[in-house]
Structure 1
């Protein structure tokens, strides 16, 4: 059986990369900690409005789409590997290890906002669910969604010492990232922290529970793949329309959480709203895909999605070159509105370049490296398993015996 790529899934992956780029531009331009203390950068009223728009409509709602698609792709990969008669879990383990290696290299030598290492690590957790039924995956995903949403309750009050340390770190980061050399920026990224020792322990505790907080979307994606969803977009339109209702609901919840950010319920509203909004985006995009799948725009999304790993890393290379001192040194200077425009330009270029690239090559360079490590073959192809029975049968036929 030949497993073909699902066009809508590739297009959705391209959409998620577009949103991830817009959200990551907050980090590229202001830093992981600086983006939460935006008052340090004296934004204009227009830029403040643009900043809040990104916080509501984009941040935290496109990475879950990629998470959903990661779970979906795992099941499609499992189906493909089973059809070739190879050891499924061995191939998956190698794939997850390769993602972790690429993530470590990305986070060490390019940028602190890497997510690939976590995805690779999360893959080992998802091995527990690859053979579960669709209903089981939905039950587990729903249960974890309810439990982890409740964990967001409460407001953390920052101490004076913590606030001073964070402020000092943001000021230092702003100077280093804007003016320093590559090695100086790398040293700052690896050795400086805005956290006190006790908060670093708390952060470690949060990271331990992170897989459970992100698991629902992974599991929902796996369930969708087992249910063959997105393979027949025209026949599934009514379900897309139902799902699209989550879009305004998610936007409303996130808007309230941003407006009343000190409220005890804001964290829960943000967590729930972000994930509901991501599902709403998936449904709304799918509705548009049915009517415009052959348009140049959707073809562009599809091309970017097919080269998702390469395009994700290229976004880092392009943006760090623009904002960091060893490039144009525009860290903290571009402004939010111009940042959004920059994101549109970068993604448009990626659409064009990806489309042209795929006319000459089947896979992106990093996708090919990932396949080499996963399949243990230089051409990236899966080596089909040959059984002794098949070999002996072939010999008997050649010898004229049954």
Structure 2
């Protein structure tokens, strides 16, 4: 393996591991308050310093680390497709199998464990992204900008929650209040039944839910496409040589992303609920901020010396799927009634401390695991299914024997 490729693989693994830290902190709000309760702090008595810290998390963390995962999903998709092409295997066929299993794992995750699953959306989006396999970097950029522009246009329109019936509707608030009791004290069977059978929207918003399910993969596609483009143009092939490139983009994207997200979060709290563009923080601000975080993290690989924690981030990243699902197991056990029952009781700050403690354990345990095993259990299953090989490796294409005509030409 050449040095540039080694550094690129290390950087991508490290970035994937780093993103899981922010994903866990953001998900801790859902573990503790529910998918719909995290936006209803008044129903859980969140106030004062805890409310201010929640605002900070929604500006700096929530919605800004999951896009990094999406970006790396697109990046890895291109690298896998290129590897399969070199072996004269069919990239789209292998990728489709991978996305199908990802979709299946996500549905099982959401049905039997936790409502905040994102693997289902990733699997759905993967099939959409098959349209862009083999496309030129310029094409990928144009589509990413086009889709992000559409999202930005949606965010520019002033949105009155009372008109949508979401979040602030009486039906949804009753659902959240009910979830507080069920998740906090219920058995596993009761919680699973509530999660899968009780409607959080009400009949009047059923069409909105259908719309969201159908179009969500398209709306989050820009980060996948930008990741695919980064793989095509070699954005991370030479971190040291591209130090200035990463520094400038980190500064610009982080500043713009924080401003958009802060505006969307703080303006309504200061009496500006009807101002235009409040949705920009949700529709494009998180993605822009995530790009800033990506380039800022790349700067850690631009120096001569490696930070001592980088190998740990890389180990977490190599086990990203396993670590992500383990976060769900641990988080639900801590907060749900069949575990320690801390649902809605720990507080935002304490919940964040718990999240950091869980991630610290993964930083410590992941390298130890990789000393004995080459890959994680979920990663191994994905590889076996993708390649239809128990070794978890792409099959070598069997070369056909030359025809008599070809042998005569050689002789």
What whole-Å deviation, never above 9, does each CA across 1:349-372 have from its counterpart, x for those lacking one?
A: 101111111111110000000111
Residue matched to 1:368: 380
What whole-Å deviation, never above 9, does each CA across 1:147-176 have from its counterpart, x for those lacking one?
A: 221023231342689722122111110000
Residue matched to 1:156: 160
User: SS state of the match for residue 341, structure 2?
Assistant: coil
What whole-Å deviation, never above 9, does each CA across 1:117-176 have from its counterpart, x for those lacking one?
A: 111111111111111011111111111111221023231342689722122111110000
2:224 to 218, 222, 240: 218
User: SS state of the match for residue 353, structure 1?
Assistant: helix
How far 1:46 moved relative to its partner?
Answer: 1.8
How far 1:292 moved relative to its partner?
Answer: 7.8
Residue matched to 2:214: 208
Residue matched to 1:321: 333
User: SS state of the match for residue 233, structure 1?
Assistant: coil
Residue matched to 2:104: 101
5 Å-filtered alignment, 1:279-290, equals: 279-290=291-302
- TM-score, normalised relative to structure 1: 0.94
Would you say the 8 A contact 2:312–2:367 is kept in 1? Answer: yes
Residue matched to 1:120: 123
Distance 2:144 2:173 in 1: 38
Q: 1:269 to 1:182 in 2, by over 3 A?
A: closer
Distance 2:345 2:161 in 1: 30
Gaps of 5+ in 1: none
Distance 2:124 2:397 in 1: 27
Distance 1:351 1:84 in 2: 35
**1:334 and 2:346 matched:** yes
User: SS state of the match for residue 330, structure 1?
Assistant: coil
Would you say the 8 A contact 1:148–1:212 is kept in 2? Answer: no
User: How many residue pairs are counted as aligned between the two chains?
Assistant: 397
How far 1:44 moved relative to its partner?
Answer: 4.2
**1:143 and 2:150 matched:** no
How far 1:293 moved relative to its partner?
Answer: 6.5
Distance 2:178 2:247 in 1: 48
User: SS state of the match for residue 386, structure 1?
Assistant: coil
- TM-score, normalised relative to structure 2: 0.92
Would you say the 8 A contact 2:53–2:349 is kept in 1? Answer: yes
- Structure 1 consecutive aligned stretches of length 4 or more whose deviation exceeds 4 Å: 1-5, 159-162
Would you say the 8 A contact 1:22–1:343 is kept in 2? Answer: yes
Q: 1:219 to 1:346 in 2, by over 3 A?
A: same
Residue matched to 1:167: 173
User: SS state of the match for residue 151, structure 1?
Assistant: helix
